[in-house]
Amino acid sequence: MTDRESNQEREGEAGRAGGRRFGSYEEFWPYYVAMHSKAATRWVHLTGTLTGLAVSAYGALRGRPKLLLALPLIGYGTAWPAHFLIERNNPATFGHPAWSLRGDAQMIRMMLKGRDAELAEIAAKWLAEHGS
């Protein structure tokens, strides 16, 4: 094991996703976007996350704490099937949960700002350089 790999293991945040090693979130981000190369997958993510947030917020405002579980259940419950059925890949969450959550938030912010085409370009570039 190299010193870098040893440091990554100790830090706990760096690690493997899709059989690849990433030393930082900045290295992971283009891979994360590439795992969402199809617009339909990105839009399913956005819909699931925003629906989960809305139901969770409603639960918080109405004093129904069980509805706070809606965010992960609805968010992941819609996103994961999109990977299997649309992208035909495994969710990046399986290999890197913390960075995947951050990536999802960044991807959704970009989509809400009308930057979906930029995400498609990031995905295409990463896939061209690294293969599928």
Q: Could you give the residue ranges of the DSSP H alpha helices within the chain?
A: 3-11, 25-34, 39-61, 70-82, 97-112, 116-130
Give the chain's mean pLDDT: 86
Give me the sign of the Cα torsion angle 82, 85, 87, 89: positive
- pLDDT tens per residue, range 116-128: 999 999 999 999 9
Inside any domain, residue 9: no
- pLDDT tens per residue, range 63-96: 999 999 998 999 989 999 998 999 988 888 778 8
Inside any domain, residue 62: yes
Inside any domain, residue 86: yes
Inside any domain, residue 53: yes
- pLDDT tens per residue, range 8-33: 332 344 444 556 788 999 999 999 99
Is the pTM of the predicted complex or chain greater than 0.75? yes
Inside any domain, residue 5: no
Checking if the pLDDT of 3 tops 60, the result is: no
Q: How many domains does the chain divide into?
A: 1
Inside any domain, residue 11: no
Note down the domain range covering 49.
Answer: 28-130
Q: How far apart are CA 91 and CA 3, in angstroms?
A: 28
Inside any domain, residue 101: yes
Three-state DSSP at 35 gives coil
